[in-house]
Structure 1
Amino acid sequence: MLLFKLECKRLFSGAINKLVLLLFVIAGVFAIYQGAQGYKTLRIDQYKSKIVFQKEREHVNKRETLPAAGSLAYYASAPTEWKLSPWAALFVGESHSSMVASKVRATALQSQIFNREIVNPAQQRTGGLDLGFVLVYLLPLVIGILTVTLISDEQHAGRWRMLNALPKSAFSQVAKQLALRFVVIWLLVILLLVSAAMLLSLPFDGVFWTVLLASTLYMVFWFAIASLIMSFGKTSVFNSLAYLSSWVVFAMLVPSAVHLYLSNQYKTDAPLEISLTQRVTLNDGWDKDKQQTLDTFLQHEPNWQDTAPLGEEFDWKWYYAQQHLSDVEVAQLWQQYRDNNQARQQTLQTLSALSPALFFQLKLNQLANTSSADQADYRLQVVEYHQQIRHFFYDFMFFDKPVTKTDVENFPLFEAKPLNKEINIWQILISALVIFALAFFSAVRLKQLRPI
């Protein structure tokens, strides 16, 4: 017990150690607060979109005479919602730079997806600090500062030979010092996660325990790296530079190289090509035979084949027929774009094994439903909802049915699919085996270290 008290006193006696731990906690608290505010803003935007649409629907129903179905379809911008997990406040992922409450009309879909600003720069938050950033990038630095010079400091102070002469080996003393630092940092991580869970009303479910387990394994990895570096018995300057270099490689260089490779390997101009092709198709459609356009449309949408032929006047069903045909025109480009993104994500998952930091960050985003895959799922939901809207209005336009107030009330609303938080236990087990193998190897080398 006395030795434990001495080690605790030694750990917290240094000004640098106390400052590092304090800054880590402050950064974590600030990240939680900023993430909570950002998540609240996103949820408010989603809620406002629903309220505004409801008010618009009520305004239409108050009119004595309802507009034509085509006119309603043109102005009815129905809100959608990216179903974000509350964990998105802690692990932002793709949600900070993407539309989370896109509005959809019955007109051409792809132009609505790509022919717009993805982000309003005036409303974008400064910086990208979230709890994921603190855990992925700052946590390893805290571990390195508190651990990597333990042995070299003992050597410099002339105590290393004395420790090796004691009945209990020097390795035992160093192991206790490492264990103490691991427990202190681990408790701080738990404190941040529990505080975030209580502030955001997060359940202590499988996601919480998975995040804690992943954070613990991530800590073990960096403690193993620090131990491996110490096992060479070099000076404090060498150890510090070696650890910092390891952090730069695993947390910055490898992820940057992976993303650079993916950008070059899966480079695509599909969004621009889709927007231009669709715009040209729509513009050219005004000069083509309108009945032929409608006939071509009916080949793709046979449920409305019983519609009457077009007359000389403007007809909404021709207008929406050419809108849909412009989507058909770029359907192959859209599918190629989706396949390209899917292949990119699969390659990213494979290459993330090269960097624990990248792998850890991707897993946190997946647990929070803010990954690129979740973004792609949301877009597919928007595509399905767009078809519901089109078919809802087609019944009125192609069969000359008047729109009633009851029909306005029965307009289909977007229903976000349930969150899909699949926890791949095999990936966690394999990661744990690799990390503990590294930790065992580092411990063996550390145990073999002898005084110089």
Structure 2
Amino acid sequence: MLQFKLECKRLFSGTVNKLVLALFLISGLVAIYQGAQGYKSQRVDQYKSTVVFQKEREYVANRETLPEPGSIAYYASAPTQWQLSPWAALFVGESQHSMVATKIKALALQGQIFNREIVNPSQQRTGGLDLGFVLVYLLPIVIGIVTVTLISDEQHAGRWRLLSALPIRAYFQVYKQLGLRFAVIWLLTAVLLISAAALLSLPFDGTFWLVCAAITLYMLFWFSLAGLIMSLGKSSVVNSLAYLSSWVIFAILIPGAIHLYLSNSYQTNTPLEISLKQRLIMNDGWDQNQQAALDEFLSHEPQWQSTSPLGDTFDWKWYFAQQHLSDIAVDEQWQGYLQNRALRHQQLQKLSWLSPALMLQFGLNQLAHTSSYHQTEYFKEIAHYHQQIRHFFYDFMFFDKAVTKEDILNFPLYKNQPQTPSQSFSSLLFATLLVFGLAIFAARRLTKLKPI
């Protein structure tokens, strides 16, 4: 017990150690608060969109005279929701760059799905701090500062040769020191996770313990790497530079190179091209034969072929037919874009094994449903819901049926599709074996370190 107290006193006696641990804890708490506010804002936007749409629907249904179906279809803007996990407050992923409550009309899909509201820069949140950033990037720095110079400091003070001469070998003392530091940092991380769970009402379910396991494994990797560097028996300066270089490689250079490779391989200007082409086709339709456009539309949608031909005046049937034709014209590009995103996600999953930092960030985003995979699934759900809205209004426009109050109240609402688990336990098990292999190798290296 006395030795344990001495080790604790040694750990917290240094100003640098106390400062870095305090900064880690404060940064984590700030990230949790900021993430909670951002997630709350997203949920409020989704809730407001739903409430506003319900009130608009009730207002239209209570009117004495209902507008014609085409007019209702033009103005009816139905909300959708990206089904984010509450963990999205801690691991924001792609959700901070996307609209999570996109409103959809019966108009052309491609003119809406990539439409972004103009955001006032003065109202933008500065930076992108979330708990994922703190754990992925700051946690390894904390580990390095409190561990990587343990042996070199003993050597510099002349105590290492004395420790090596004791019956209890010196490396056992190093193991105890590393264990104490691991326990302290793990407890600080546990405090952050428990605080987040309390603030966001996160259940202590399998996801919570999977996050804990992944972070523990990530910590073990960096502690093992620090032990491997210490086993080289170099000076404090060399050890610190070696650890810092490793952090730059695994947390900055490799992830940056992977994202650059994926951007060059898969990322294109497809969304801009799709949106521009769709709008040009829609605008050109005003100067073309409208009956021919309607006939072409009916060849794609044969269930409304019994509709009457167009007259000489403006007809909503042609307008919405032309809207859908503009979507059909870019459908191949749209499907290619979705496939491209899926391939990019699969490739990122494979390449993330080259960097523990990227692998942890990828896994956390998957658990929070904020990855590019879940964003693509959201796009697909929007496209399916858009089809439901179109077909709902087509029944009235193409068959010359009047809209009743009951029809307004029976308007199809958006429903989230159940999310399938996207994180494999086999991957976590394989990563565990690799990290434990590194830890054992580092431990054996430390046992062979000779006194100098």
Q: What amino acid sits opposite 2:308 in the alignment?
A: A
**2:163 aligned partner:** 163
- Distance in 2 (alpha carbons) for counterparts of 1:66 and 1:77: 17
Q: In the TM superposition, what are the counterparts of 1:378-393 in structure 2 within 5 Å?
A: 378-393=378-393
Question: Separation in 2 of the partners of 1:406 and 1:118?
Answer: 36
For the 8 Å contact 1:369–1:421, the answer to whether it is kept is no
Distance 2:21 2:417 in 1: 41
1:258-313 CA distances to partner (integer Å, 9 max, x unpaired)?
11111111131211211221122112211222111111111111111111111111
Distance 2:364 2:11 in 1: 30
Alpha-carbon separation, structure 1, partners of 2:119 and 2:423: 31
Hey, what does 2:90 align to over in structure 1? 90
1-side partners of 2:419 and 2:107: how far apart? 28
The whole-number CA distance in structure 1 between the counterparts of 2:69 and 2:288 is 24
Q: State the secondary structure of the residue aligned to 2:93.
A: coil
Task: Tell me the distance in 2 between the aligned counterparts of 1:89 and 1:195.
Answer: 13
Return the offset for 1:87: 0.5
Distance 1:120 1:262, change over 3 A: farther
Cα distance change of structure 1 residues 91 and 118 upon mapping to structure 2, 3 Å threshold: farther
Supply the distance in 2 between the matched residues of 1:119 and 1:257 (Cα, whole angstroms): 31
Structure 2 match to 1:29:
29
What are the Cα deviations for residues 160-205 of structure 1, in whole angstroms up to 9, with x where unaligned?
0000000011111101110110011111111111111111110000
The residue type equivalent to 1:67 in the other structure is: P
Q: 2 CA distance for matches of 1:119 and 1:352?
A: 33
Please tell me the residue identity of whatever aligns with 2:124: Q
Give the deviation of 1:118 after TM superposition: 8.1
Give the counterpart letter for 2:214 in structure 1.
A
Partners of 2:246 and 2:119 in 1: CA distance = 35
Structure 2 portions without partners, runs of 5+ = none
Q: Is the 8 A contact 1:98 1:118 kept in 2?
A: no
1:354 corresponds in structure 2 to 354
For 2:166, give the aligned amino acid.
L
User: Residue type of the partner of 1:3?
Assistant: Q
Supply the distance in 2 between the matched residues of 1:114 and 1:56 (Cα, whole angstroms).
Answer: 24
Give the direction of change, closer, same or farther, for the CA distance of 1:422–1:348 in structure 2 (3 Å limit).
closer
Tell me the residue number matched to 2:251: 251
Which residues in structure 2 correspond to 1:61-76 (within 5 Å)? 61-76=61-76
1 CA distance for matches of 2:116 and 2:4? 61
Q: Matches of residues 409-420 of structure 1 in structure 2 within 5 Å? A: 409-420=409-420
Counterpart residue number, 1:10: 10
Q: CA deviation at 1:120?
A: 5.8
- Cα-to-partner distance string for 1:315-350 (whole Å, 9 max, x where unaligned): 111110110010000000101111111111111111
Aligned residues of 1:29 and 1:192 also touching (Cα < 8 A): yes
* 1:125 aligned partner: 125
Partner letter of residue 381 of structure 2? Answer: Q
Residues in 1 aligned to 2:209 and 2:326: alpha-carbon distance in whole angstroms: 48
Letter in 2 for 1:426: S
CA distances 1:207-232 after superposition (whole Å, capped 9, x unpaired): 00000000000000000110010001
Q: Deviations over 1:391-436 (max 9, x none)?
A: 0000000000000111111111111123434431110011001111
Mapping for residues 28-427 of structure 1, pairs under 5 Å = 28-117=28-117, 121-427=121-427
The one-letter amino acid of 1:442's match is A
Contact 1:85 1:419 in 2 (8 A): no
Distance 1:57 1:335 in 2: 33
Deviation at 1:68, TM superposition (A): 0.6
CA deviation after TM superposition for structure 1 residue 121, in Å: 4.0
* Post-superposition offset of 1:146: 0.5
Judged with a 3 Å threshold, the aligned counterparts in structure 2 of structure 1 residues 76 and 262 are, in CA distance, closer, same or farther, namely same
Query: What CA distance in whole angstroms lies between the structure 1 residues aligned with 2:124 and 2:350?
Result: 31
In the alignment, the residues of structure 2 paired with residue 100 and residue 226 of structure 1 have an alpha-carbon distance, to the nearest angstrom, of 41
Runs (5+) with no aligned partner, structure 1: none
Greater CA drift, 130-139 or 286-295: 286-295
In the aligned structure 2, how far is the partner of 1:268 from the partner of 1:122? 29
1:448 aligns with 2:428: no
Determine the C-alpha separation between the residues in 2 that align with 1:421 and 1:131.
Answer: 22
How many pairs align?
A: 452
Alignment check: 8 A CA contact 1:32 1:90 kept: yes
Letter in 1 for 2:232: F
CA RMSD in angstroms comes to: 1.2
The answer on whether the counterparts of 2:99 and 2:116 sit within 8 Å (CA) in structure 1 is no
* CA positional deviation for 1:23: 0.9
Give the whole-Å Cα distance in 1 for the aligned partners of 2:93 and 2:149.
34
Q: Deviations over 1:355-404 (max 9, x none)?
A: 10001001000000111100100110000000000000000000000001
> When the two structures are superposed, what TM-score results if normalisation uses the length of structure 1?
0.98
- Contact 1:98-1:119 within 8 A present in 2 as well: no
Contact 1:76 1:105 in 2 (8 A): yes
Separation in structure 2 between the aligned mates of residue 120 and residue 374 of structure 1, nearest angstrom? 27
Task: State the secondary structure of the residue aligned to 2:411.
Answer: coil
Q: Are the equivalent residues in 2 in contact too, given 1:226–1:243 (CA < 8 A)?
A: yes
Query: What is the TM-score of this pair, normalised by structure 2?
Result: 0.98
Q: Using the alignment, how far apart are the partners of 1:328 and 1:424 within structure 2?
A: 37
Q: Give the letter aligned to residue 169 of structure 1.
A: R
Q: Provide the C-alpha distance between the structure 1 equivalents of 2:104 and 2:83, rounded to a whole number of angstroms.
A: 16
What letter matches 1:261 in structure 2?
Y
Q: For the residues of structure 1 that align with 2:227 and 2:154, how far apart are their CA atoms?
A: 15
Equivalent-residue separation in structure 1 for 2:9 and 2:358 (angstroms): 35
Amino acid at match of 1:230: M
Paired residue type of 1:166? L
CA distance in 1, matches of 2:154, 2:41: 51
Alpha-carbon distance in 2 for matches of 1:34, 1:122:
17
In the alignment, the residues of structure 2 paired with residue 34 and residue 365 of structure 1 have an alpha-carbon distance, to the nearest angstrom, of 17
Contact 1:148 1:243 (8 Å CA) reproduced: yes
Distance 1:333 1:122, change over 3 A: farther
Distance 1:381 1:113 in 2: 11
Counterpart Cα distance in 1 of 2:97 and 2:54: 26
Bigger mean CA deviation after superposition, 49-58 or 84-93: 49-58
Q: How far off its partner does 1:124 sit? A: 2.7
